[in-house]
């Protein structure tokens, strides 16, 4: 199943008793797909997977599998590569283990072993893992059998990015992971994005991706510029605190609760984010 367009990395909503609100998760998944998202991600960073029990993680994935099957859309699963073996899951979304910093050869060896067991979308996010990679290493990873894509979140678009885009192999999908930089990354050839901000204005992010891919550059630039303030506002505090505050205020999830070590967003941050929604 090809990866392109906008995939939404689902939050994990909690109810007033602190339990996972599976009904709200189901509605949210359907909302973003109805609005044009091309796929879902369960148990990504936005979903607070480290704070969920294994049983809660399984329940979240089951909801996402059910909805994705109904819509015929891809589903990526983070946190636990073993869950990518579940029927209905397209691929695992996986980072190199944080804090280890194994060097480029170690990163390549790690993903070669993992991709031999499950289809894989590599999540390259050096500000979280502490591991930077050269263009040569990224292109090596892109060519590993079983690697179908990469979530690319380096906070910059630089020579390494350009080199990766220029030589991507066929069948490999480059998906932006820095919400505020998604427009320029699409402009130089990314296939889409995995964007937490797309919970809030899914249609606008979908239109942005479509505009770049169809060659409507003037419209794409306009949409991209308009969406940057929203993306920045939603990430003004640790993700997904502000996002959950916005979704709760909009009546889409039962509470704005996050689990420790995260804290709820300040009301001023939520108010500011809401003011950027067109």
Give Cβ neighbours of residue 251 (< 8 Å, ≥ 6 apart): none
Stated pTM of the model: 0.96
Q: Which of 71, 123, 152, 244 is catalytic?
A: 123
Q: What pLDDT score does 98 carry?
A: 85
151 is catalytic: yes
Residue ranges, the chain, pLDDT below 50: none
Q: In this predicted model, what pLDDT tens digit does every residue of 112-127 receive, in sequence order?
A: 999 999 999 999 999 9
152 is catalytic: no
Cβ atoms of 240 and 212 within 8 Å: the answer is no
CA–CA dist 79, 58 (Å, integer) = 11
Q: What pLDDT score does 1 carry?
A: 67
CA–CA dist 158, 151 (Å, integer) = 16
Q: Which of 71, 151, 152, 244 is catalytic?
A: 151
Domain positions in the chain are 5-216
Q: What are phi and psi of 124, to 5 degrees?
A: -95, 105
Q: What pLDDT score does 2 carry?
A: 76
For domain 5-216, the CATH class is: alpha beta
- Per the document, the length of the chain is 278
CA–CA dist 191, 14 (Å, integer) = 32
Q: What is the DSSP string of the chain?
A: ----EEEEE----B-TTSSB-HHHHHHHHHHHHHTT--EEEESSGGG-GGGS-HHHHHHHHHHHHHHHHHHT--EEE-S-GGGGGSTT--EEEEPPPTTT--HHHHHHHHHHHHHTTS-EEEEE-HHHH-----HHHHHHHHTSTTEEEEEE--S---HHHHHHHHTPPTT-EEEE--GGGHHHHHHTT--EEE-GGGGTSHHHHHHHHHHHHHT-HHHHHHHHHHHHHHHHHHTSSSTTHHHHHHHHHTTSSS-----TT--PPPHHHHHHHHHT--
Cβ atoms of 264 and 258 within 8 Å: the answer is yes
CA–CA dist 189, 162 (Å, integer) = 9
């Amino acid at each position: 199943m090809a990866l392109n367009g906008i995939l939404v990395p689902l939050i994990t909503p909690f109810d007033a008793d602190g339990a996972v609100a599976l009904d709200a998760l189901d509605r949210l998944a359907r909302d973003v797909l109805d609005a044009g998202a091309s796929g879902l991600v369960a148990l990504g960073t936005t979903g607070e997977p480290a704070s969920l029990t294994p049983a809660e993680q399984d329940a979240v994935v089951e909801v996402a599998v059910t909805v994705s099957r109904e819509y015929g859309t891809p589903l990526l699963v983070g946190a636990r590569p073993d869950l990518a073996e579940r029927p209905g899951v397209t691929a695992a979304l996986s980072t190199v283990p944080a804090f280890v910093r194994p060097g480029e050869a170690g990163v390549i060896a790690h993903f070669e072993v993992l991709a031999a067991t499950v289809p894989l979308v590599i999540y390259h996010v050096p500000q979280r893992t502490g591991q930077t990679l050269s263009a040569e290493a990224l292109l090596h990873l892109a060519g590993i059998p079983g690697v179908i894509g990469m979530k690319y979140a380096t906070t910059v678009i630089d020579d390494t990015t350009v080199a990766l885009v220029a030589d991507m192999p066929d069948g490999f999908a480059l998906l932006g992971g820095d919400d505020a930089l998604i427009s320029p990354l699409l402009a130089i050839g990314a296939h889409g994005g995995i964007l937490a901000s797309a919970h809030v204005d899914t249609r606008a992010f979908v239109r942005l991706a479509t505009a770049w891919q169809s060659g409507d550059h003037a419209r794409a630039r306009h949409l991209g510029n308009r969406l940057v303030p929203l993306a920045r506002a939603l990430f003004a505090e640790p993700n997904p605190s502000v996002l959950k505050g916005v979704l709760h205020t909009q009546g889409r999830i039962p509470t704005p609760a996050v689990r420790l070590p995260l804290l709820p967003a300040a009301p001023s941050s939520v108010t500011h984010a809401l003011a950027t929604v067109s």
